[in-house]
Amino acid sequence: MTLLAGEGGYTGQQRVVLFTVVSRREVATVRKIVSQADPQAFMVINPSHEVLGEGFKPLLHPRPPYRVRPRGRGHEWSTSGPPDKPGTHLPGPGTPPT
């Protein structure tokens, strides 16, 4: 949960804004808690496509350490294992050639 300082656009009154992300299953529980704590509270519930960051999905996915040229006529790249022949290793983007 994140606490934000807010100001009412109409009243100009200072408020504390709570920002949180919950699963669909938790929405009813959060509604009940909020209505019990403040029956005049203002809530916005939006669906999220993705939640990234601490406690959720990582912002960046680790890159595989190497890429292997496809064998034969295939057009797909493989990251399943180390190259088995010299000269088949391709460094990842930004990696200087060896």
Domains of the chain, by residue range, sit at 1-59, 61-91
Q: Which two tokens stand for residue 40?
A: 């005049």
**Residue 30 and residue 21: Cα distance in Å, rounded?**
10
The larger pLDDT score, comparing residue 11 to residue 64, is at: 11
pLDDT of residue 85: 52
Return the number of other C-beta atoms located less than 10 Å from residue 20's C-beta.
9
pLDDT of residue 5: 96
pTM here? 0.53
pLDDT in tens, 53-64: 888 888 887 666
pLDDT in tens, 19-30: 999 989 999 999
pLDDT of residue 27: 94
